[in-house]
Amino acid sequence: DAKTTQPPSMDCAEGRAANLPCNHSTISGNEYVYWYRQIHSQGPQYIIHGLKNNETNEMASLIITEDRKSSTLILPHATLRDTAVYYCIVRVAGGNQGGKLIFGQGTELSVKP
Amino acid sequence: GAVVSQHPSWVICKSGTSVKIECRSLDFQATTMFWYRQFPKQSLMLMATSNEGSKATYEQGVEKDKFLINHASLTLSTLTVTSAHPEDSSFYICSAPPSGGSGNTIYFGEGSWLTVV
């Protein structure tokens, strides 16, 4: 089972920041949080991942709480092309299973003009 | 950056026939690859773990004789849907983590649409 819970849907106005929350209260100390998004009929697109510290790249920022039980993905200036389903995933750690990503239901983000 | 490629992007086959889908890591080696299936308006469901040089590991409820997985090299895994039926019609996606390290970026293929008629 997925170790994350996310709201099923969110709306965001174009040009505003989109803040997508994720709960992962049972995360282990060596497990990473990954974010992907999926646009209809395409494979998941990698966004960002992190372990403890906040991370930022050209696509987004990832804020992880100090207790690591939740995180927030921030798209600083959402555009219509950011409309997609966003998945927050805790990566299974170690061995041959260390790459295994169990998907939950994700958050369907709709960016509106 | 690293890329995972799937082939074919879409395929139509007749009931009772078999169809093979390839997953390649283009500029990195992957000792492990993962196969997922996705039905319309649903999330991705992990089917199996493909292990280079050994047998695949299947998730509960996935028929290993139905979905044959072969990890022929460090850059290629194949999924063969045997004796396909219309209920096997789905979007099949693979992923590949670069070997080494649990904090690596994991890339997904573009997906393969299978329609069984």
Place of tokens 């039980």: A69
Nearest to B97 among A38, A99, A105 (CB): A99
Indicate whether A54 pLDDT > 80.
yes
- The mean pLDDT of A69-76, rounded to a whole number, is 97
Indicate whether A98 pLDDT > 90.
no
Position B97 scores a pLDDT of 84
Contact: B106, A103; criterion CB under 8 Å: no
Nearest 5 degrees, angle CA A98-CA A101-CA A103? Answer: 165
Nearest to B106 among A34, A38, A41 (CB): A34
Of B80, B74, B91, B70, which Cα lies nearest the Cα of B24?
Answer: B74
Share of chain A above pLDDT 70, in %: 93
Q: Which tops the pLDDT comparison, A74 or A103?
A: A74
- Cα A33–chain centre separation: 8
Position A29 scores a pLDDT of 84
Nearest to A100 among B31, B49, B111 (CB): B49
Indicate whether A74 pLDDT > 80.
yes
Q: Is A100 on the interface with B (CB under 8 A)?
A: yes
Q: Is B115 on the interface with A (CB under 8 A)?
A: no
Contact B7, B92 (CB under 8 A): no
Position A95 scores a pLDDT of 60
Position A45 scores a pLDDT of 95
> Model confidence over A3-40: pLDDT tens digits?
899 999 999 999 999 999 999 999 988 889 999 999 98
Contact: A99, B109; criterion CB under 8 Å: no
Position A94 scores a pLDDT of 65
Contact: A91, B106; criterion CB under 8 Å: yes
DSSP codes of every residue in B30-60: -SEEEEEEE-TTS--EEEEEEETTS--EEPT
Residues of chain B with pLDDT under 70: 1-2, 100-103
Q: Is A53 on the interface with B (CB under 8 A)?
A: no
Q: Residue B90 to residues A20, B19, B22, B46, B84: CA-CA distances in angstroms?
A: 28, 13, 15, 13, 11
Position A113 scores a pLDDT of 95
Indicate whether A96 pLDDT > 70.
no
Range from A80-89, A95-104, B11-20 carrying the lowest mean pLDDT: A95-104
Place of tokens 């998945």: A87
Position B19 scores a pLDDT of 97
- Token representation of residue A100: 């295994």
Helix (H, G, I), strand (E, B) or coil at A97: helix
DSSP codes of every residue in B87-99: GG-EEEEEEEPPS
Contact: A91, B102; criterion CB under 8 Å: yes
